Structure 1
Amino acid sequence: MNDTPPLPGSTPLSRGLTRRRLIAAGGAALLALPAFRSACAQAGASDVDVAIVGGGAAGIAAARALAAAGRSYVLLEAGEKLGGRARTDTAFGHVFDLGAPSFARGVETEGLAGAAMAAKLPLADLPSGRRLFIDGHEAREGGYDAFLATLGRARRDILAASDAGKDVACASVLTAPGDWSASVAALLGPLGVGRSLAELSTVDLALRAVPADDTTSPIGIGALLEALGAGLNVQTHAPVTLITNAGRLHMLSIAGQRTQIRARAVVLAVPAPVIASGALRFNPPLPPRLVNAFRAFPAGSIEQVAFLLPGNPLRLENDETVLPKVSGAADAPPPALLRARVNGTDLHVLSFGGAPAREIAQKGESAALRLSRAFLAAAFSPQAAAAVHEVVASRWSTDPLIRGAIATAQPGQGAQRRLFTEPVQGRIFLAGEYTALDSWGTLAGAWASGEVAAAKALRLVGGGPA
Structure 2
Amino acid sequence: MSERAIRAARALPGPLSRRRFLAGASAALLAGPALAQSGATDVDVAIVGGGAAGIAAARRIAGSGHSYVLLEAGPRLGGRARTVEALGMEVDLGCGLLPRDFHPLLAAADAAGVAVTDLSNGPRLYVEGREAKESDYDHFLAALGQARRDIRAAADAGKDVAVATVMPKPEPGSRSGPWEATAADMLGPLGCGRGLNTLSTLDLALRTPPAGNATSPVGVGAMLQTLGAWLNLQTDAPVTQITHGGRVHALRVEGQRGLIRARAIILAVPAPVIAAGAIKFNPALPRRLAQAFDDCPAGALEQVAFLLPGNPLRLEADERILPRAGKVPALLRGRVNGTDLHILTFGDGPAREIAAKGKEAGLRLARAFLGEAFALAPETVTEVACSAWTADPLIRGAMAAARPGKGAQRRLFEDPVQTRIFLAGEYTSTDSWGSLAGAWESGEVAAAKALALLGDGPS
User: TM-score, normalised on structure 2?
Assistant: 0.91
Contact 2:363–2:383 (CA under 8 A) maintained in structure 1: yes
Task: State the shift of 1:465 in Å.
Answer: 3.9
Match of 2:40 in 1: 45
- Gaps of at least 5 residues in structure 2 are 1-24, 171-175
- Aligned equivalents of 1:323, 1:453: Cα separation in 2: 36
Moved more, 51-60 or 91-100: 91-100
Partners of 1:103 and 1:213 in 2: CA distance: 9
Name the amino acid aligned to 1:359: E
Q: What is the rounded CA distance, in whole Å, between the counterparts of 1:135 and 1:452 in structure 2? A: 46
Letter in 2 for 1:447: W
In the TM superposition, what are the counterparts of 1:341-380 in structure 2 within 5 Å? 341-380=335-374
1:139 aligns to what? 132
Partner of 2:240: 241
**CA 213–465 in structure 1, closer or farther in 2 if over 3 Å, else same:** farther
> Of 413, 417, 438, which aligns to 2:406?
413
Tell me the amino acid that sits aligned with residue 271 of structure 1.
P
Aligned-partner residue type, residue 102 of structure 1: L
**What's the counterpart of residue 382 of structure 2?**
389
Q: Which residue of 2 aligns with 1:23?
A: none
CA distance in 2, matches of 1:228, 1:463: 28
Give the deviation of 1:382 after TM superposition: 3.2
Give the Cα separation in 1 of the matches to 2:122 and 2:154: 30
The answer as to 2:447 corresponding to 1:439 is: no
Map 1:28-39 to 2 at 5 A.
37-39=32-34
Q: Counterpart of 1:99 in structure 2: which amino acid?
A: G
2:292 — aligned with what?
293
**Aligned length in residues:** 428
1:432-456: CA deviation from partner (whole Å, max 9, x where unpaired): 0100110000011101100000000
1:247-277, CA deviations, whole angstroms, 9 ceiling, x for partnerless residues? 0000000111111000000000000000000
Aligned mates of 2:115, 2:169 — CA distance in 1: 45
The answer to whether 1:72 aligns with 2:71 is no
Give the Cα–Cα distance (whole angstroms) in 1 for the partners of residues 41 and 93 of structure 2: 34
Distance 1:234 1:213, change over 3 A: farther
**1:34–1:185: structure 2 CA closer, same or farther, 3 Å change rule?**
closer
Note if 1:400 corresponds to 2:393.
Answer: yes
Query: Contact conserved, 2:65 with 2:458, CA < 8 A, in 1?
Result: yes
Q: Distance in 1 between matches of 2:105 and 2:39?
A: 27
Aligned in 2, Cα 1:437/1:129: closer, same or farther, shift over 3 Å?
closer
Q: Distance in 1 between matches of 2:263 and 2:108?
A: 26
Matches of 1:129 and 1:417 in 2, distance apart?
28
Q: What does 1:30-429 correspond to in 2, within 5 Å? A: 37-42=32-37, 44-108=39-103, 111-177=104-170, 178-179=176-177, 180-327=179-326, 332=327, 334-383=328-377, 385-429=378-422
Deviation at 1:214, TM superposition (A): 1.5
| Stretch deviating more after TM superposition (213-222 or 391-400) | 213-222
Per the alignment, do residues 107 and 362 of structure 1 end up closer, same or farther by CA in structure 2, a change over 3 Å counting? Answer: closer
Q: Deviation string for 1:184-206 (max 9, x for gaps)?
A: 11000010110011110000000
The equivalent residue for 2:450 is 457
Question: How far 1:159 moved relative to its partner?
Answer: 0.5
User: By percentage of residues, which structure has more helix?
Assistant: 2
Alignment-derived partner of residue 15 in structure 1 = none
Where in structure 1 are there 5+ consecutive unaligned residues? 1-29
Q: Distance in 2 between matches of 1:36 and 1:189?
A: 47
Structure 2 CA distance, aligned partners of 1:290 and 1:36? Answer: 41
What one-letter code is carried by the residue in structure 2 that aligns with 1:446?
A
8 A contact 1:396–1:404 mirrored in 2: yes
State the distance in 2 between where 1:40 and 1:420 align: 31
Q: Which residue of 2 aligns with 1:14?
A: none
Q: Deviations over 1:357-379 (max 9, x none)?
A: 00000001001111111111110
Question: For 1:280-299, what per-residue CA distance to the aligned partner results, in whole angstroms no more than 9, with x for missing partners?
Answer: 00000000000000001110
- Are 1:102 and 1:213, in contact at CA under 8 Å, matched by a contact in 2? no
- Overall identity of the aligned pairs, in %: 63
| Aligned-pair CA distance for 1:107 | 4.8
Shift of 1:210: 2.7
8 Å contact 1:112–1:444 — kept in the other structure?
A: yes
In the alignment, the residues of structure 1 paired with residue 212 and residue 387 of structure 2 have an alpha-carbon distance, to the nearest angstrom, of: 20
Per-residue deviation, residues 140-159 of structure 1 (Å, max 9, x unmatched): 10000010000111001101
Tell me by how many angstroms 1:96 deviates.
1.6
Query: Which letter maps to 2:95?
Result: A
1:28-80 Cα deviation digits (max 9, x unpaired) = xx9xx789933443564100000000000000000000001111000000101
Separation in 1, partners of 2:344, 2:85: 16
Q: What is the match of residue 13 of structure 2?
A: none
Give the drift of 1:171: 0.3
Q: 1:64 is matched by which residue type in structure 2?
A: R
